[in-house]
Structure 1
Amino acid sequence: MGVTHVTVTVRNPAQPEKAWDGLFLVDTGAVDCLVPAKHLQAIGLKPRSKRTYELADGSEVKLDIAGAQVEFMGETVWTTVIFAADDAEPILGVTALESVGIEVDPRSQRLKRLPAPRLK
């Protein structure tokens, strides 16, 4: 399988004028969005909680999280963002994709818009 990237804008919901744009890896195996902490801090986001995540190797790690406004492909969604290491590759998780009715076409590895988000 190939990799898919998309440009994403992350905004501080309390101060929408504060935003960061980045190229995110689309990862349908990831639930939430992962963003280098330095970019979240630069737009004024602060950790609100911690959540335990399972990594690809099966180990678990507890990470800081917050809520943010995420924009991509002309869509906007409010979702959980993970405060990652400053050198981490940003990841767009499946929750944000599915919330706006976008999925990855397994053949072309491109994002495609569904006629409507699934409610079932």
Structure 2
Amino acid sequence: MGLTYVTVKLTALSENGEQIQSYEDNFLVDTGATDTVTPSDKLQAAGIKPVGKMVFELAKGRLQEYQYGLTRIEFIGEITAGRVVFGPPGCEPLLGVTALESVGILVDPVNKTLRRLPAIPLKFLSR
């Protein structure tokens, strides 16, 4: 698949859920990344704060610990919230599959586009 970019807006949330600041940029859609990754300096400037650390496996197999935060994520007319990884300053912003799938968007590798599902799967046991 060719490279696909989308404009993404990450917004910091206050403790009571009010919007504070945001960061907007073109993000590479990365189906190999679970989480969204953004340069740490951009997240800090937008008021997004780290809430924890995790070890991530990088593309070449190396393990690396990064901080992550929680943020509102907006792209192509959809809104979700989720984890964003504090990447190295200057790194390319990546939109991971968790954010895509949470709003019902899949990558269509044949047509090299993003495709909306007609409905988001929500399966549960009925009684």
3-state SS in 2 of match to 1:63? strand
- Mark the runs of 5 or more structure 1 residues left unpaired by the alignment: none
The corresponding residue for 1:83 is 86
Specify the alignment match of 1:6 in structure 2: 6
Match of 1:74 in 2: 77
1:41 to 32, 40, 44: 44
Question: Would you say the 8 A contact 1:103–1:114 is kept in 2?
Answer: yes
Please say if residues 48 and 69 of structure 2, whose CA atoms lie closer than 8 Å, have aligned partners that are also in contact: yes
Contact 1:35 / 1:83 at 8 angstroms: preserved in 2?
yes
- Root-mean-square deviation (Å): 1.0
Deviations 1:49-80 (A, max 9, x none): 00110011111000000100000011111110
Q: Which has the larger radius of gyration?
A: 2
TM-score (ref. length: structure 1):
0.95
Seq. identity, %:
46
* Superposition map of 1:9-24 within 5 A: 9-14=9-14, 15-24=18-27
* Offset from partner CA, 1:76-115 (integer Å, 9 cap, x none): 1111000011110000000000000001111121111111
> Residue 39 of structure 1: CA displacement?
1.1
Q: TM-score, normalised by structure 2?
A: 0.90
Gaps of 5+ in 2: none
Moved over 2 A (4+): none
Partner letter of residue 10 of structure 1? L
